[in-house]
């Protein structure tokens, strides 16, 4: 398995780079075309959140193998002000302003696992999707 891919994110062009890199990396696992699109879309949402709400951040993409299954782990970290109310931020249609309110809850629906940690020094979203078929 290859090393992880790190994509610094500070502008809207980086959002496109992050999702393209994620799709390329995930394509090494037996994901279906639809699953690759779901992964790329989820990456787009969390990467855009960095651009919208933080001065900078990064998306780290990594393939993983545990308990005989393979998957992709996407970690989006930023140095933004943090999310005041995480539960609210994960509700559909809630936004503090610029977003659609579908980014975070939507990304959560697209992936198999989703964790969000937020504090005054930044926010980290970790998402995983498992390849449904064995390699």
**Residues in contact with another protein, total (CB under 8 A)?**
28
Q: Which of 106, 122, 124, 130 binds another protein (CB under 8 A)?
A: 106
Q: Which of 1, 8, 13, 119 binds another protein (CB under 8 A)?
A: 13
Long-range CB pairs of 56-59 (<8 Å, 24+ gap) are 56/8, 56/9, 56/10, 57/8, 57/9, 57/10, 57/122, 58/6, 58/7, 58/8, 58/9, 59/6, 59/7, 59/9, 59/18, 59/22
Residues at the contact surface with another protein, assessed by CB under 8 A = 12-13, 15-16, 19-20, 23, 33-34, 36-38, 40-41, 44-45, 48, 51, 92, 99-100, 102-103, 105-107, 109-110
């Amino acid at each position: 398995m290859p090393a992880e891919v790190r994509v610094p994110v500070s502008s809207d062009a980086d959002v496109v780079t992050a999702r393209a890199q994620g799709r390329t990396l995930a394509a090494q696992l037996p994901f279906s075309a639809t699953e690759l699109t779901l992964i790329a879309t989820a990456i787009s949402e969390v990467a855009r959140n960095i651009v919208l709400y933080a001065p900078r951040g990064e998306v780290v993409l990594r393939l993983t193998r545990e308990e005989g299954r393979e998957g992709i782990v996407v970690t989006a970290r930023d140095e933004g002000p943090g999310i005041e109310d995480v539960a609210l931020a994960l509700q559909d249609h809630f936004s503090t302003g610029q977003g659609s309110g579908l980014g975070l809850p939507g990304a959560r629906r697209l992936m198999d696992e989703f964790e969000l940690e937020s504090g005054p020094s930044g926010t980290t979203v970790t998402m995983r999707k498992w390849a449904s078929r064995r390699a």
